[in-house]
Structure 1
Amino acid sequence: MKLSRIAQLGAVAAVAVLALAGCASNEGGAPSTSAPASDAPKLSGTLNGIGSSAQGAAQTAWIAGIQTANNGLTINYDPQGSGAGRKSFISGAADFAGSDAALKDEELAGTFALCKPGTKAIDLPVYISPIAVAYNVPGVKDLKLDAETIAKIFSGKVTKWNDPAIAALNSGASLPDATITVVHRSDDSGTTQNFTDYLAQNAPDAWTAPAAQTFPFQVGDAAKGTSGVVAAAKNAQNSITYVDESGIGTSGLQVAQLKVGDSFNKISAEGAAKVVADSPLVSGRAANDLAIQINRKDTQAGAWPLVLVSYVIACQNYTDAAKAALVSGYVQYIASDAAQQTAATQAGSAPLSADLAKKVSAAAASINK
């Protein structure tokens, strides 16, 4: 099986899926209307992934694309959350994990059930998306917030929508004398990790907790997963939450502008991509581990430093060679330009830069080599 050909096959499938509504195999199956060239190799077998709910919409599109071209392939992805994904992968309950946070040093120091003894897992970035500060306040549009005020709201220090801290950033806005309902993630979440990391770095006086995958304050309402916080915020008037932008959909939630440097920027995938392009890899990792140290203080024009990079976490060396070939081929497909454009269309993410995509593809191709 030639993995370079597999990656090409996936790219063909990704083009086809742009026209699909896109549904994963565990959500009813995708139409098989984009058969590959007859001489292209086939992928056959089953992969099970668990993890990031933010990555869920992109996984749905990717799975639909590659399965359209490979009738013998089944990929199941359960968006239980990043923490659940990493735990499941470490224990061997999942073949790969989707995670909005790279593996921690202490996780890398342990063992991985599906990896060859003495080898570790690697972090492969596949999905870039801005995190929205989304709100449901009747009559309020174009809300502007800075990191300090966001930190005070989500830590419970600012509790009214007409608080002077919010009013000072929104001259002329009609802010209600209403209690703010904070909605945060209840589960171990990579989105929470990225959100709290942004606040810890940009508003350390107001946000007194370190970056964490578990929301650190006893404030507001908690809900599980991307869809959970969106539903909770939609159903609670005068609410505010943080969520991967792809999850907002047709909920009607508004997205606040973010103060970056001296400007207020609107959320955009392009702004998120700019920040990632300016960010270095985490030092001290294995050669094929592409964990990114996000530059949360990026102030370039249009930047959106409240961004998440979501990873596929896989073994560098699997004990099961057939499983390794499937994971390698699937990630090479995901990194293809066509598949990245599919995710951009279906989920509103920012495509990987050409340089980063090349690194991801090469790292995926190195699995079990």
Structure 2
Amino acid sequence: MNSVLSRYKRLASIGAIAVAGTILLSSCAANEAGTTDPSAAASDLAGTIDGSGASSQGSAQEAWVAAFQTENPDVTINYDPSGSGAGREAFISGGVSFAGTDSALKQDEIDGGFAACVPDTGYIQVPAYISPIAVIFNVEGVDALNLDAPTIAGIFKGTITTWNDPAIAALNADATLPSAPITAVHRSDDSGTTKNFTDYLNKVAPEIWDAPAADPFPYQVGEAAQGTSGVVDAVTNGTNTIGYADASKAGDLGVAAIKVGDEFVDYSPEAAAAVVAGSPAGDTASDTDLVISLDRKTTDPTHYPLVLVSYIITCTEFVDAEVAPVVKAYVQYITSDAGQSEAASSAGAAPLSTDLSAKVATALESIK
């Protein structure tokens, strides 16, 4: 586990280019349609676009917009990492030109339409950021922790309440577990990270986690915290705590290895990418909606099934036509080889596969 954490610390080193101390990210950005190098950006591209949504994308968005700022001084991109639910709501109401979400659009959201888009012209939903979800912990005297899905479900549902519970002890024979209460921290806001976390538990441990996947945390137990940063802070500053967060934010916290098949697996970009590559399309999939139905029940130990795919949603045709060239150029950049490399360096994200990248590029050509 320590080697994995060290890798993520190294990958995070370029985050210093980010705009610090703010949740509103401003940048100037764009590139010529179809290019993958921000240095090749069209110098005459100009305008401002606003986006909001998934806080999991926060570090990547900082790096993406900073790269665009360097190359395109006449373009401003604002991204507010307010959470997936808030981002989708803002996009649906026409408050932003694009949104980031770890939770794919539901059919009723699609059916209701999007105020920023010309009616009956469609929408875009493409993967932009793939990352493991880390089960983070801060337990006195414990440096390494193995957990399986039923045990994680019991901890976060509140049926396993102490660290030396037999279920945890059976998975950690070499650990000295304290006889202390568990403080399990979950998101208080509607969160795509929560939806992916609860989807994993519902699929792999349904006999315990009987609530379906959802953006709001389903049980009235544990401690709630706002956003990814709130969960990380609560686990860091608490005592004998555990939570879940995008792996890029794990920092120096302990991270549990989860059981996949007969082995305990540490998170990695490669293992996250392997799950995505082996998963089928989701129910709403189309040429411009590249939703993925993740294979949570894999038993392949080269896969890490507790993973999120964070999407960008936007219009194929905008009511405000002036934003279209900027949105198209920006999303083309962040999903390009150069943009994906930036996300890997700044946030430890797993890059889109060659096949998925090609499908994304084709979908984005629909933006007018």
Indicate whether the TM-score tops 0.5.
Answer: yes
Q: Which residue of 1 aligns with 2:32?
A: none
- Asked if 2 retains the 8 angstrom alpha-carbon contact of 1:200 and 1:210, the reply is yes
**Counterparts of 1:102 and 1:227, CA distance in 2:** 22
Mapped partners of 2:292, 2:332: distance in 1: 19
Deviations 1:19-60 (A, max 9, x none): 672225945769xxx9946x9443211010010000111011
Task: Name structure 1 gaps, 5 residues minimum.
Answer: 1-17
CA distance, structure 1, for counterparts of residue 27 and residue 310 of structure 2: 24
1:252-276 CA-partner distances (Å, limit 9, x unpaired):
3100000000110111111100000
* Alignment-derived partner of residue 312 in structure 1: 312
Q: Secondary structure at the match of 1:222?
A: strand
Give the match for residue 236 of structure 1. Answer: 238
**1:50 partner SS:** strand
The residue aligned with 1:286 is 286
Name the amino acid aligned to 1:71: P
TM-superposition CA deviations, 1:330-362 (whole Å, max 9, x none): 111111111111110110110111111121122
Distance in 2, Cα, partners of 1:268 & 1:20: 19
- Counterpart of 2:8 in structure 1 is none
Counterpart CA distance in 1 for 2:320 and 2:306 is 38
Contact 1:108 1:120 in 2 (8 A): no
SS of the residue aligned with 1:54? helix
* 1:23 aligned residue: 18
Instruction: Provide the C-alpha distance between the structure 1 equivalents of 2:273 and 2:267, rounded to a whole number of angstroms.
Output: 11
CA 1:76–1:28: 2 relative to 1, 3 Å? closer
> Do structure 1's residue 182 and structure 2's residue 184 form an aligned pair?
yes
Bigger shift: 190-199 or 116-125? 116-125
Name the CA distance, whole Å, in 1 between partners of 2:46 and 2:83: 27
How far the C-alpha of 1:233 sits from its partner, in A, is 0.7
- Determine the C-alpha separation between the residues in 2 that align with 1:56 and 1:138: 30
Q: Tell me the equivalent position of 1:345.
A: 345
TM-score calculated relative to the size of structure 2: 0.90
> Helix, strand or coil for the counterpart of 1:131?
strand
Superposition pairs of residues 73-152 of structure 1, within 5 angstroms: 73-152=75-154
Contact kept in structure 1, 2:27 and 2:78, CA below 8 Å: no
| RMSD over equivalenced CA pairs, Å | 2.0
**Distance (whole Å) between structure 2 residues aligned to residue 69 and residue 265 of structure 1:** 40
Structure 2 distance, partners of 1:22, 1:255, is 26
The equivalent residue for 1:255 is 255
Q: Which runs of 5+ in 2 are unaligned?
A: 1-12, 29-36
Distance in 2 between the 1:344 and 1:35 partners?
16
The residue matched to 1:64 in structure 2 has which SS?
helix
**Aligned CA distance change for structure 1 residues 239 and 329 (closer, same or farther; 3 Å):** same
* Counterpart secondary structure, 1:135: strand
**Structure 1 residues 35 and 311: alpha-carbon distance in aligned structure 2, compared to 1, 3 A threshold:** closer
Residues 35/142 of structure 1: CA separation in 2 closer, same or farther (3 Å cut): closer
The offset of 1:142, in angstroms, is 1.6
Distance in 2 (CA, whole Å) between partners of 1:44 and 1:187 is: 34
**Amino acid in the other structure paired with 2:105:** L
- In 2, Cα distance between equivalents of 1:357 and 1:78: 25
Query: Which residue pairs with 1:272 in the alignment?
Result: 272
Distance 1:228 1:19 in 2: 23
Separation of aligned partners in 1, 2:38 and 2:301: 43
Measured in 1, the distance between the counterparts of 2:317 and 2:72 equals 24
**Aligned to 2:295, what secondary structure does the other structure show?**
coil
- Matches of 1:177 and 1:332 in 2, distance apart? 52
The SS at the match of 1:346 is helix
Q: Is 344-353 or 20-29 further displaced after alignment?
A: 20-29
Which residue pairs with 1:63 in the alignment? Answer: 65
**For each residue in 1:279-338, what CA deviation from the matched residue of structure 2 results, as whole angstroms up to 9, or x when unmatched?**
111144332110111111122232100000001110122122221221111111111111
